[in-house]
Amino acid sequence: MKARLIYLVPNLLGPPGGIARYCRLVSQALLEAAVDLHVLALMDEQRNDEAPIEGFSGMTYTPCAGSRPAFIRQAARHALQTRPGLIVAGHVNFAPLGWALARLARAPLATFVYGIDAWSPLSRTRRLALQRSDRIIAISRFTATQAAEANALNLSKVRVLHNCLDPQLEMAPSRPQRNGAPSLLTVARMSLAEQYKGHDVVIRAMPELLRRFPDLRYDVVGDGDARPGLQALAQQLGVAQAVRFHGIVSEAKLQEHYAEASLFIMPSRAEGFGFVFLEALAHGLPVIGGNMDATPEVVVHGETGLLVTPTSVDEIVTAASRLLEDNALRARMGEAARRHVAARFSYPEFRRRLVEELSQVAPTIFAA
């Protein structure tokens, strides 16, 4: 008899972000593998109707509207009632709850780790729960290594499952040659708690880049509490007219930004993977990224983009200038980027690997 899988996630339908996208892809893959799936989402708001969620038909779904007591209570109730065959903690912060549920249901525990939140020593309860997980799935090799070293993890339990391209995103067969003013594009949150995406360094590079390319513009998509400071920095440096903050945009508008950009730039210093890199590469955009985190697992230096020291304004100026000056190089890298994503980060391969890893610790959830 097939057993249920309980999946604890921060959010499934809430604001867009790398972790939310990853949780949606995991849920979709599990449903396609005919898993009896119950998702509990801590931050998702309550829904006013019981209609199936588009793209997630057949899933049991419990949103908890940010209430941790409700999240814990609902998870415990369902674990007792359904006796699941596997508990999956969709974030390291949920590992202690996942471990408690696993003990309650006498089921194995799998925990996902993403990035900077697991790169340093965790609290004692989170570390012990992570260590006791039957499977630890890291979003990148960099995250796997950092988390294992910081928290004394048994490497035999750790697997790497890279993010993948959203199956709903269609890649055009080729990128048309664009005309008009050159432009840089960044798509990322602007959070004071995550001041490592590199917006500030790109803005500091703009005075020199504008000297070389007077018509250049820098389009910034995303929002957050760090935005006023970044706008003030652009004003202070005299480049505010060339740096355009668009806030959070619709999916259709985001696709327009990708289509209009000359290249994508996000010199992050602490990226666990960087889903936006996949989107940019799939749109045939060369990428400028940092060389200090997991970005090199996504961007191939000299082939699909250029990697730089993310704190170096000079390196960013040099890399951006090289790509903006050479249309043929941008075109070659763009084509290579599209091929790279299709070959290395496809959704079918992601789904196959996910099912393979979870079935090793909980075969009953995939039983016929």
The fold of 183-344 is Rossmann fold (3.40.50)
Contacts of the segment 188-192: beta carbons below 8 A, 24+ positions apart: 188/221, 188/222, 188/266, 188/268, 188/276, 189/17, 189/222, 189/223, 189/224, 190/220, 190/222, 190/223, 190/224, 190/225, 190/226, 190/227, 190/230, 191/224, 191/225, 191/226, 192/224, 192/225, 192/226, 192/229
**Same CATH fold, 183-344 and 4-164+346-366?**
yes
pTM of the complete model: 0.91
Model confidence pLDDT, tens digit, residues 114-135 = 988 899 999 999 999 999 999 9
Domain limits of the chain? 4-164+346-366, 183-344
* Averaged confidence pLDDT in the chain: 93
Find the angle CA(313)-CA(314)-CA(320) to the nearest 5 degrees: 90
pLDDT of 19 above 90:
no
What is the rounded CA–CA span in Å between residue 90 and residue 194?
Answer: 20
Give the pLDDT band (50/70/90) at residue 47: confident
Top-level class of domain 4-164+346-366: alpha beta
Q: How large is the average pLDDT for residues 188-201?
A: 92
Predicted confidence at residue 2, as pLDDT, reads 74
Model confidence pLDDT, tens digit, residues 233-251 = 999 999 999 999 999 999 8
Report phi then psi at 249, rounded to 5: -120, 165
Model confidence pLDDT, tens digit, residues 176-194 = 656 679 999 999 999 998 8
Of the two residues 57 and 266, the one the predictor is more confident about is: 266
Model confidence pLDDT, tens digit, residues 283-312 = 999 999 999 999 999 999 999 999 999 999
pLDDT of 1 above 60:
no
pLDDT of 267 above 80:
yes
Containing 264, the helix (H) or strand (E) segment is strand 263-266
pLDDT of 173 above 60:
no
Residue type, 32: E
Report phi then psi at 136, rounded to 5: -115, 120
- Length reported for the chain: 368
